[in-house]
Amino acid sequence: MKIQAYLAFNGNCQQALNYYANLFGAEVKNRETYEDKKMDVPASYRQKLQHAELSGKNIHIMAYDAAPDTPITHGNQIHMAIDVENSEKAKEVFSELSKGGQIHHNFMEREWGYFGRCTDQFGINWMVNSKI
């Protein structure tokens, strides 16, 4: 069994995946747009991503731009959790993810190690952890 995240965006999926690829040293793969799909989407939406994957060492996320008739409600029902090898790198990742977003728990030492929780500029919730 394999469980992974599938993120939905409001037309800025490519921008978000490029951002995450740069931050996490990953690559956007299996990129498919709505262009050749037999779906009822506006012409202005045809270049948006109908499916894409972000893949790299210890990361695999699937994502898409939800069709305009599929409303997205930003909520707290999903968080992406990252376990980072050391607290300095974890602090850097948390700082970058929280830029332009919202910090819910400052990155600091907790009972189990270091932890911070934020929502990034794309509305995705993140929990960053480090034991060291």
Task: Provide the CATH number for the domain around residue 27.
Answer: 3.10.180.10
Would the pTM of this model clear 0.95, i.e. be above it?
no
**Separation CA 123–CA 114 (nearest Å):** 23
Question: Distance of CA 42 to CAs 4, 10, 12, 64, Å?
Answer: 30, 14, 16, 16
Q: Find, among 129, 127, 114, the residue nearest to 79 by Cα.
A: 127
Pair 61, 83 in one domain: no
What is residue 70's predicted lDDT score, i.e. its pLDDT? 82
Pair 10, 60 in one domain: yes
Pair 90, 125 in one domain: yes
What is residue 14's predicted lDDT score, i.e. its pLDDT? 97
Pair 60, 85 in one domain: no
Query: Is 49 contained in some domain?
Result: yes
Range of the domain at 119: 79-130
Whether the pLDDT of residue 109 is over 70: the answer is: yes
pLDDT tens per residue across span 15-33: 999 999 999 999 999 999 9
How many domains does the chain fold into? Answer: 2
